[in-house]
Amino acid sequence: MCLVPVRSGTADFTLRFPAHPSWVRTARDAMRTALRSAVPLNGELIETAALLTSEVVSNAINASLCCRTPPPVDIHACWSPEGELQVRVYDRGPGMPRLPDASPAVDQEHGRGLLLLSSCARRWEVCRHAPGPGKSVWFQL
């Protein structure tokens, strides 16, 4: 069972974009820009959210690129009633992300996204809401 936290419905931020690697930077920059206007004095939250968004979006795009016609990726961010930032990234690609069994080698370029999520997010989860491909990865800071 997937326990997506209750959201406040205020200060929502949503972005839908094509599943193309060039959009990772756009997603990260959009998150950073939205948070700079909402919490301008919380640089640590802004940079952590931008980093984790980038990692989760990268995974979502990679999953979507496995489809014959890559479907779009969605990001939704909002504040919980307790004041925590909640970010959800939804893709329609196959497969489920998994934490690696061991840390990747120092010279390996991939494989750290979920490890970063595990160490930086207060909570996170992978959810499959319907039969067929697609899932959400959400995290809370």
User: What's the pLDDT score for residue 5?
Assistant: 55
CA gap 32, 116 in Å, rounded: 18
Q: Does the structure show a pLDDT above 90 at 134?
A: no
Q: Does the structure show a pLDDT above 90 at 111?
A: no
Mean pLDDT taken over the chain:
85
Do the strands 85-91 and 73-79 form a parallel or antiparallel pair, or are they unpaired?
Answer: antiparallel
Which residues have a Cβ under 8 Å from the Cβ of 10 and sit 6 or more positions away?
Answer: 78, 79
In contact, 134 and 93? CB cutoff 8 Å = yes
Work out the angle at residue 105's Cα, subtended by the Cα atoms of residues 103 and 106, and round it to the nearest 5 degrees: 110
User: What's the pLDDT score for residue 19?
Assistant: 95
* Stretch among 12-21, 103-112, 118-127 having the lowest mean pLDDT: 103-112
